[in-house]
Chain A
Amino acid sequence: MLSDFRQFQFALARHLRDPLSAPVPQGIDPVQASACTHDMVAHLCDVLAPAFPITQALLGEEMWEHAVRLFLKDAPNQTPWSSTTQRAFMEHVCESPDMQRLPAWLQDLAHFEWLQNAVSTTPVIWPTFDAEGDVMHHAVVLNPTHVEAAYEWPVHSIDTDHNPDDMQSTYVSMLRDGHDELHVFESSVFRGQLLSLLREGQTGTQALMVLAHWLSHPMPDALVNEGAELMAQLQREGVVLGVRV
């Protein structure tokens, strides 16, 4: 059984998160409690704003604060680090039933913005690799910061002065280079599948042969030959770093 003071704390926290539904615990000044909630929202906005600049601007001040308050109310279990709070907020925007009334593209945008921030800051250990090796005939080393993402909306064209008119399947590769610069490249289902196979340890040729088989391609060798240029492009972009040593 909880001690009195802990019961009191849980009740107070519930009220501060959701002042409209949870009653003010006895002995608490409602004005002070309201100031606390205000500070909580303000602090949370400070944590979230750097990761979602366009989402915040497009929602407008009132809706943004409303979204932050709903997040605070639902209190997803997360560590207090800014990076995990930003991730939890993105998941809240994408999954919470309360958020489904927002324009659908805002959810894609929130994810896209979060992902850029996460790829820029995620800690990685850079692997060793041979940049000169033959990526068609050896297992390759992928950039450890690289991710593929798929969206229903053209996320990269959304800006504070441009909202998308129509849905458009959009695939992106995102990574951070060795100088910690973020890069976003246009991708495709084919590229994404090729990268999955490379990640499993297949050579360029092996992966392209598998894809040719999946696609029932009439001339697998031709696909492999054309795919060599795609492998070279992936290496130029820094998605493929080189071959394993």
Chain B
Amino acid sequence: MKHHILQGAGLALRPALLAPLKNRAPDTLQFLELTPPDWVGIGGRVGSELQQLTQHYPTVCLSQSLSLGGPGALDKSVLRDLRAFIAEHNIQVFSEALAWSADDAPLFINLPIPSTPAAVAWTVSRIAQVQEALGLRIGIRNVTHRLAPTLVEMNEAEFIAQVVQASGCSLHLDLHALAANARHFGFDAQAFLHALPLHSIDYVRVGREHQLLDDVLAFTHRRVARCVDDVKQLNLEALTC
């Protein structure tokens, strides 16, 4: 039986949101999402205000710092920092972008991993290293891209399915990212969704920029709107709206 750790509305916390949240947190807020670069290695007032929030709300780590499919070596110090961060804030769910975002240094962007069998094997081995170093099972998350995938030997959904199957990690579905990519690159979002290993999904993000998602759902990709309904039928541990 699945146990729902999180449900309802989550907030992707930014440092600029600390003050408004301190004054008045919305009653509907159920949990927080933290992107590590904003918070790792930060103490002082910002650090203690974050600590107060993470003691109060369940917290998800929405990471894109590991460059899972990247060509360089995994940064051991990043993994150490993340492990300490997870412990410090009692992080319950760790979500990592299925992308690459560094060569030997950060690139400050998510790029699509070349979808070749060799890249599947490479990414799977790195997920294993990450799970070992963090001491937990992670979820990999689809993210938005600006660049069409290259060296394509399978489509992205197949690539995700193979990585999930071989690594044993879970799948975190970002519907906003799926909608944005489907619109940008003109593919069928619903077919993409159904090609995913849906049974491995245990975390779904519905919206980030509500207006964009609403527009996408309402006007340009009615099929994605049906995806939301499909997803709601799944037995999920979390659904962020």
A residues whose Cβ falls under 8 Å from a Cβ of B: 2-10, 12-14, 16-17, 25, 27-29, 32-33, 35-36, 39-40, 43-44, 47, 50, 72, 75-85, 120-124, 176, 180
Contact = CB atoms under 8 A, between A and B. Distances in A.
A122 B44 contact: yes
Contact of B71 (A2, A33, A39): A2
B109 interface: yes
A148 B81 CA distance: 28
Nearest to B15: A50
Given A10-B103, A47-B108, A85-B106, A3 B41 contact: no
Contacts of B168: none
Contacts of B101: 80
Nearest to A38: B146
Contact of B107 (A5, A8, A40, A77): A40
Nearest to B147: A32
A17 B107 contact: yes
B109 A77 contact: no
B224 to A, nearest CB: 22
Contact of A80 (B65, B114, B147): B65
A40 B107 CA distance: 7
Contacts of A36: 109, 111, 146-147
A126 to B, nearest CB: 10
B215 to A, nearest CB: 20
Interface of B: 15, 36-38, 40-48, 65, 70-71, 75, 77-78, 81, 100-109, 111, 114, 116, 118-119, 122, 146-148, 150-151
A80 B108 CA distance: 8
A77 B104 contact: yes
Contacts of A16: 107, 109
B105 A75 contact: yes
Given A40-B108, A43-B109, A47-B108, 11 more contacts: A16-B109, A27-B151, A33-B147, A39-B146, A76-B105, A77-B104, A80-B78, A122-B41, A123-B42, A123-B47, A180-B48
A78 to B, nearest CB: 6
Given A36-B109, A36-B146, A43-B109, A14 B103 contact: yes
B42 A83 contact: yes
A13 B37 contact: no
Contact of B36 (A2, A6, A14, A81): A81
Given A5-B119, A28-B150, A32-B147, A80 B111 contact: no
Contacts of B109: 16, 36, 39-40, 43
18 contacts: A10-B71, A12-B111, A16-B107, A28-B147, A28-B150, A32-B147, A33-B147, A36-B147, A40-B107, A40-B109, A43-B108, A44-B108, A77-B104, A80-B37, A80-B78, A81-B36, A82-B38, A176-B44
A25 to B, nearest CB: 8
Contacts of A3: 118, 122
Nearest to A78: B105
B31 to A, nearest CB: 23
Contacts of B104: 75, 77
A79 B46 CA distance: 20
Contacts of B45: 120, 180
A32 to B, nearest CB: 5
